[in-house]
Amino acid sequence: MNQRNAAVSQPRPPADVYFFGTCLIDVFQPQAGLDAVTLLEREGVRVHYPDAQSCCGQPAYTSGEVAAARQVARAQLELFPEAWPIVVPSGSCAGMMKHHWPTLFAGTPDEARAKEVAGRIVEFADFLLNALDWQPTDLGQPLTLAVHTSCSARREMNTHVNGWALIDRLANVKRVVHEREAECCGFGGVFSVRHPDIAGAMVADKAAALKDSGAAQFVTADCGCMMNINGKLAKDGDTFAGEHLATFLLKRTGGAA
């Protein structure tokens, strides 16, 4: 194969994607979703946001309410008719859609459709790094940063590796590993509601480890964790805080311009 043909055969980044915003981003952290969309659009990707989207069904599913989870998830299945990637700015929601929807709909008339949609799910950091090969120009001041990755994102989607890689591409950012990097923050969706004492102890340990890391702030790609940790820090009167990975990356690389 000559060099010209080899160049032609290289995979091209997707021109169009769907964006599944997740419940927490839609209701509590819309700016994180908008920042993720801006980053994608700045890379030349056309982002499509189905207005009827709601929940992936994870809260009900992890509570053992399979029928309720199926009902909620079924409402999403027909929202993505084109064969485009479905970018999800949350590792836990992406994990639910990619790995658990096929099981959730197994043996039902929706099984084939659920598997097809699940096959197109890609977490935001994964897409930015591996589909777009994002090469940032870091415009920020030197900064020491810690990263928190949700349990589902780490264990189901392996996206902590992608988040680290994106941060490490920023020339002026030093990423530090904190003592409880691989541990849960205690949120766990309904877990924090059902077991507040245990969850409270877990987030206290996580917040302390982040602060003790020497970082000026932290980032995470899951808004549930971010809200939980930031809530603990704010309750304690700390100015140390975190933000969504998309927001941080957008700020470091010139904003929406």
Cβ pair 117, 97 in contact under 8 A: yes
The domain segmentation of the chain, as residue ranges, is 16-129, 135-252
Query: How far apart (Å, rounded) are the C-alpha atoms in residues 141 and 253?
Result: 11
**Strand partners for 17:** 47
- Residues of the chain with pLDDT > 90: what percent? 79
Query: How far apart (Å, rounded) are the C-alpha atoms in residues 29 and 224?
Result: 10
CATH topology of domain 135-252: Rossmann fold (3.40.50)
- pLDDT beyond 70 at 256: no
pLDDT tens for residues 70-80? 999 999 999 99
Name every residue whose Cβ is closer than 8 Å to that of residue 206 and which is 6 or more positions away in sequence: 148, 180, 183, 184, 185, 186, 229, 232
Q: Which of 212, 221, 214, 213 is nearest to 249 (CA)?
A: 221
- State the pLDDT at residue 235: 94
Query: How far apart (Å, rounded) are the C-alpha atoms in residues 252 and 139?
Result: 5
- pLDDT beyond 90 at 84: yes
pTM, 2 dp: 0.91
Place of tokens 């659009």: 41
- Residues of the chain with pLDDT > 70: what percent? 95
Query: How far apart (Å, rounded) are the C-alpha atoms in residues 104 and 16?
Result: 28
Query: How far apart (Å, rounded) are the C-alpha atoms in residues 114 and 57?
Result: 13
pLDDT tens for residues 149-180? 888 888 888 889 999 999 999 999 999 999 99
